[in-house]
Amino acid sequence: MYSTTGIEASNFVSSFDTAFFSVIGISILLLVGITVLMLYFVFKYNRKKNKVAEHIEGNTKLEIIWTIIPTLLALGMFYFGWAGWHPMKNPPKDGITITTIARMWNFSYLYENGKQSAELVVPVGMPVKLKLISVDVLHSVFIPAFRVKEDIIPGREKIMWFIPQKAGVYDLYCAEYCGLQHSYMSSDLRAIPQEEFDKWYTDTTALASTVDESVPGAAGFVIMKTQGCNACHSSDGSKIIGPSYLGLWGKQHIVVRDGQDVLVTVDSAYIRKSIYEPNAEIVKGYQKGLMQSYDKVISEDDISKIIDYLKTLEE
């Protein structure tokens, strides 16, 4: 049912090309034609050659012709645009569904079997449906190579779909302005053959196997990477959006709570609160309202692993 023989990256490339190049082609012809005609008139009827203008007020027949012909052309252009777009709105029943969670400023992908990934891994030749969820502001999934884009609206659940047709690594950008790090909100899309995908997908131990339990904090590091914490918090002391993790554990710093400056010590209770109620206390010098609660996203158990990781970052 789904052709995978095409060399195009996705099933929507050719319909975009038809719509785009039909309009561009006609437009370039008209643009060149009208410009040349204008230049010809300007030379031919220059005052130096043509001292007296002819008195002409108009021509109704011409007006009707140049109303009807552009209207027909425009309707034709509309048709190609509609025809290419219509299937985008009608996702097939089969295929895999991947929940795409967007937040300032990263994407994370949740598969049906509970597997989480910071990279969008998809099988070639299979319809992929992305269930789009935003936890904060507007974002937009834009995959230029696939010619698809759909905005992500907080409070709404939306679906976009495509069939990857060629294996490869593609860029996926956020295309709806979402604040400071908007231009860094991107992720890789890796389209791989079905068998390879099956192996990747069923390997739910992948997480555990790459984590060497003997290294302290390794599990916590993987959790934070998957959740995209490092988009805003560095591990090397540099200031991005939020405070760095370097030397954070056990440190005393001033936070603003209900407009009051309060001195707190970074302990387990503080870390837990910072993850579940990030806006209750804001470290002095940082902005409020940028981080969303990770309640029900990061479990209590995972928080203790994160704390193990933070302990490794003492200065």
- Asked whether position 290 contacts other proteins by CB under 8 A, the answer is yes
Q: How far is the CB of 141 from other proteins (least distance, A)?
A: 9
Q: How far is the CB of 100 from other proteins (least distance, A)?
A: 15
- Interacting residues with other proteins between 155 and 174 (CB under 8 A): 155-156, 158, 171, 173-174
Name the pairing type of β-strands 186-192 and 120-123.
parallel
C-beta closer to other proteins: residue 115 or 149:
149
Q: Find all residues with CB under 8 Å of 227, minimum gap 6, and list them.
A: 108, 294, 297, 298
Site string for other proteins, 37-76 (x = CB under 8 A): xx--xx--xxx--xxxxxxxxxx--xx--xx--xx--xx-
3-state secondary structure 97-143: EEEEEEECCEEEEECCCCCEECCEEEECCCCEEEEEEECCCCEEEEE
Q: How far is the CB of 281 from other proteins (least distance, A)?
A: 16
Q: How far is the CB of 249 from other proteins (least distance, A)?
A: 28
Amino acid occupying residue 242: G
C-beta closer to other proteins: residue 36 or 215:
36
Using DSSP's 3-state secondary structure scheme, residue 155 falls into: coil
- Asked whether position 304 contacts other proteins by CB under 8 A, the answer is no
Radius of gyration for the chain, computed over Cα atoms and rounded to the nearest angstrom: 28
Q: Find all residues with CB under 8 Å of 290, minimum gap 6, and list them.
A: 104, 179, 232, 241, 242
Question: Which stretch of DSSP H or E encloses residue 172?
Answer: strand 168-174
- Interacting residues with other proteins between 14 and 43 (CB under 8 A): 15-16, 18-20, 23-24, 27-28, 30-31, 34-35, 37-38, 41-42
Alpha carbons 191 and 9: distance in angstroms, whole number: 9
* One residue of 3, 183, 194, 202 binding other proteins per CB under 8 A: 183
- Asked whether position 176 contacts other proteins by CB under 8 A, the answer is yes
Q: How far is the CB of 66 from other proteins (least distance, A)?
A: 5
Q: How far is the CB of 42 from other proteins (least distance, A)?
A: 6
The secondary structure of residue 91, as a DSSP letter, is -
Buried b (16+ CB within 10 A) or exposed e, 146-169: bbbebbbbeeeeeebbbbbbbbee
Strand partners, 128: 96, 162
* Residues contacting other proteins: total by CB under 8 A: 84
C-beta closer to other proteins: residue 73 or 206:
73
C-beta closer to other proteins: residue 57 or 195:
57
Question: Which stretch of DSSP H or E encloses residue 148?
Answer: strand 148-152
38 within 8 A of 158, measured Cβ to Cβ? no
- Interacting residues with other proteins between 185 and 244 (CB under 8 A): none
- Asked whether position 297 contacts other proteins by CB under 8 A, the answer is no
Site string for other proteins, 104-143 (x = CB under 8 A): --------------------------------xxx-x-x-
Q: How far is the CB of 148 from other proteins (least distance, A)?
A: 6
